[in-house]
Amino acid sequence: MRIPLTLLALTSSCLSALALDLKGRVQWNDHCPGIDDLRQAKVVLDNGKHRGGVTRDGTFTIPDVPAGTYVLSVLAHDHVFEQMRVDVLETETLPEVRPYFPGTPLSPPSTVTLPYPIVLSARAKYDYFVPRESFNVLAMFKNPMMMMMLGAGVLVLLMPTMMKNMDPEVMEEFKERQAKMSGMQSALQSGDLMGGISQMLAGDEPKAASSGTSKGASSSGAKHRGPKNKRR
């Protein structure tokens, strides 16, 4: 009769030794300055069988946690908290706390250990909203498409006058360059990358060297305009 009794006493003392009260604190910070901001929150292990409420001063206690490996998470409505891995060991009185990233395997455990009692702090506040796009003329014209359109419009309007006032020699050069550009563009478009690059490289060469190639291209453009200038 005596032996079972002592056994019983032993097991009960063992049981009480194995279970541990996990203590920790939520560190208030800019994201979450106090309990008013946090509202009712709790710290849970795994799926919430073991849990503790966060009190006004940020402390929490998860009572009687048996030995094992747990994932600690914070259930807070508006704030993001890190998850942690908590190992309650049978032999030691202090648990091991490590950072944990959801979706990663629990073993092998991370080599980084965190201090105990656990200190948690809000990483961010959930932002549920997308700002409203409001109508703004300036913003509308800041749009690159709009700016391009405007630029094109200005060019269309100013081109004839610019052309008129241009020196014939500069004009000639401009046309040449334009033709080269268009040739390069068409080459790029047709997929002839090498041709396009060679065209581009050709553009960098001294003018004298490139004059031969550009002659043919510029002649067509000059044909129309040439007589016009002559007659003036």
Partner 1 sequence: MRLFTLCLLAACARALHSYEVGVTDWHKPFAGVPLLLSESTSPVFHRSKHQDGQSSSMILSATQSNVLAAYHSVNGSLAWRHLFEDEDNILAFRKDKDVVAALSGPGGAYFRIFDSTAGHLLSETRLHDPTAGLLQEPGSLGIAVAFGSEEKEKDIFVLTNGHTLRRLSRRTGEVSWGWTAPDQTSSVIYSKILVTPSTVYLLGLTKSFASYTLHITSLSPETGELIDSGDIPSRITSGLSEPLVLSDVKQPETNPQIVWLEEGAIKAFPLTPGLKSKSSVVKGAVYKNIEDVGLSEYGQFVAIKDDGSGRVIKLTPEGLKVIWEFSDSATSPQRTGSIYSGGIDVDGFPYIARVFWMHTLKLASAHVFAAHLAEGKGLVTGFTFPFKTGEHGIITHVAVEAANPEPYRVLARLALTTSTGAVQMWQQDQLQWTREEGLADIPVAELVELPERKIASHSESDQETFGARVARQLLDAQDFPQYAVNFIRRFVTGSYASVSSSVAPPANTTEPLSRDAFGFRKVIVAATSHGKLYGIDSANGEILWSRVFGLGWAAQVGGHIIPAKMFVTRTVNDGDSPQVVLVTQRKANNGLVDTVLFHVDALTGDDARDKSQSVDVLQGEDIVSGPLVEAFLLRTASGRAVVCLDEFLQVNVYPNDDETMQALEKILPSVRIPLRTGPPGQRRLTGHQIPKTVEFTGKHIAYPTWSLPFPPSEDIRAIFVRPSDPVASFGKVLGNRTTLYKYLNPNLVGVVTGPPSTAPLSESSTCSIYLVDGAKGTVIYHAVLPSVAGACDVKAALVENWLVYHYYDNEVGVNHAKGYRVVSVELYEGYGVDDKRRSSEMSSLSNETTAVSVYEQAYIFPRGIRTLTPTSTSYGISVKDIIVANENNQIQSFPRRFLDPRRPKQKPTAEEAEEWLIQYDPVLPDDPKRVLSRNYQVAKTRRIITSPALLESTSLVFAYGLDLFFTRVAPSNTFDVLSESFNKAQLMITIAGLALAIAIVKPIVARKRLRERWYN
What are the residues binding partner 1 (CB under 8 A)?
35-36, 39-40, 46-49, 51-56, 60-61, 63-64, 69-71, 73, 75-78, 102-107, 126-133, 135, 137, 140, 153, 156-157, 160, 228, 231
Shortest CB 192 distance to partner 1, Å: 24
Of residues 127 and 167, the one with the C-beta less far from partner 1: 127
Shortest CB 18 distance to partner 1, Å: 13
User: Which H or E element spans position 61?
Assistant: strand 59-65
Evaluate whether 98 touches 113 at the Cβ level (below 8 Å): yes
Structure tokens at 185: 């563009």
What DSSP state is assigned to residue 46? T
Shortest CB 140 distance to partner 1, Å: 6
Of residues 22 and 187, the one with the C-beta less far from partner 1: 22
Shortest CB 56 distance to partner 1, Å: 4
Q: 25, 24, 54, 51: which is closest to 39 by C-alpha? A: 54
Of residues 36 and 204, the one with the C-beta less far from partner 1: 36
CA dist., res. 176 & res. 75, Å (int): 70
- The three-point CA angle 116-117-121 to 5° equals 105
CA dist., res. 82 & res. 182, Å (int): 57
Of residues 87 and 192, the one with the C-beta less far from partner 1: 87
Structure tokens at 232: 């003036």
Of residues 136 and 206, the one with the C-beta less far from partner 1: 136
Shortest CB 138 distance to partner 1, Å: 12
Of residues 9 and 75, the one with the C-beta less far from partner 1: 75
- Within 8 A by CB and 6+ apart from 27, the residues are 58, 119, 120, 121
* Length, in residues, of the chain: 232
Shortest CB 12 distance to partner 1, Å: 11
